[in-house]
Structures are given as structure tokens and as C-alpha cells.
Amino acid sequence: MELYIVLGIMAFMIFGFVLNKWPFGITTMICCVLLVVTGVYGVSDAFSGFSSQNIVLLAPMFAISAAFGKTSLLTKIQDKMVDLKGKSGLVLLIAMYAVIIILAAFLPTTAEMTIMLMFLMALGNTGDITPSRMTIPILAMISVWGTKLPIGMGATQYITLNAFYEGMTASPD
């Protein structure tokens, strides 16, 4: 029976997201409350995601990137990108990759992608370099520079994984 309840709540959530009549937060809170009321989850389990360390870290990161999107620096960079697009696509690509490399040293990959998407939206949908064609290559560059290479934020990834592995094994003492 719980399966049908969860599927019904999921259908309600999809319906609420598609209609967009209510804010996303209200829709998700209603679903959490419905999971508690129907007995599928307890209160602590239904709302445990809000105290997740990832959520606590991601929320301010998106707020900071949204605030960055309202600064004059973003509009200056976007204007420069439009100028570079008119001159040479290769120069624009090299400039975008340079920005990615610089941001990868200081920002997590999720925040960097939101900032780069703001830059991409300034390009418009005409010409060879469009946001739809550039999203995947930019995501790949962010992934490589942000996580795979031991430079900037990626430098701590190996240490973090080793700490997780050490925590999984029992001490030989």
C-alpha cells in the first residue's frame, strides 16, 4: 500500500511542478507533510534532508552566485563575451576556458556551472557558438578542472576520499 501512496504523492509533486501555480518550496513541503500524515515516514525521516550537510552548503552557494549575477562585473564580462563572439569564436572559447580554470580554483563545480550558464545566456542563439552547443563542453571542462586535476578545489578530493575509506575500515589495534 505504501508504494501506491508514494506514487500518488510523486504524481502530485510532478503535477505541482508542471502547473507552476505554487512555489516549488510549498509543493515539496506539502509532499513531506503528506508522507508523514500517511505514515510512510516519520517526522524526523521526512524532514531529515533539510539538515543534510550538502543542502546547508549548497543553499548559500547558490545565493552567492545569484548575487554575483546581479553585479556589474557580470554584465561587463557578458558584454566582453559578445564582443569576442563577433570577432573570433576560437578566442571566445579560449577566454571561457580561462575563466573556468580560474573559477575552478576557488568555487565548487555546481556554483561554477551556474555562473558559467549566466555567461552563456549572454551569447544569444545566433551563430556557431550558442548556449545549447556550449553547455556540455563547458560542463566537461568544469568537471576536469574542478575534480580530476589536483589543482584548486580538486586538490582535496583525493584526501577526502582517503578519509572516507579510512573511516570505513576498522582499526587494526
What pLDDT is attached to residue 91?
81
**If 0-12 CB within 10 Å is exposed, 13-18 middle and 19+ buried, where does residue 119 land?**
buried
Which of 101, 24, 99 lies closest to 68 in space, CA to CA? 99
Give the DSSP H or E segment for 44: helix 43-46
| Residue type for position 80 | K
C-alpha cell at 54: 550538502
C-alpha cell at 10: 510523486
**HSE-up of residue 153 (Cα within 13 Å, Cβ side):** 19
Integer Cα distance of 104 and 91 in angstroms: 20
Ramachandran angles phi, psi of 15, nearest 5°: -60, -45
What average pLDDT score do residues 100-114 get?
A: 80
**Residue with the larger pLDDT of the pair 143 and 128:** 143
Integer Cα distance of 141 and 99 in angstroms: 11
Which residue's C-alpha cell is 589543482? 151
pTM above 0.85, yes or no: no
83 — pLDDT class (breaks 50, 70, 90): confident
Q: Considering only 5-14, 37-46, 60-69, 130-139, which range has the smallest mean pLDDT?
A: 60-69
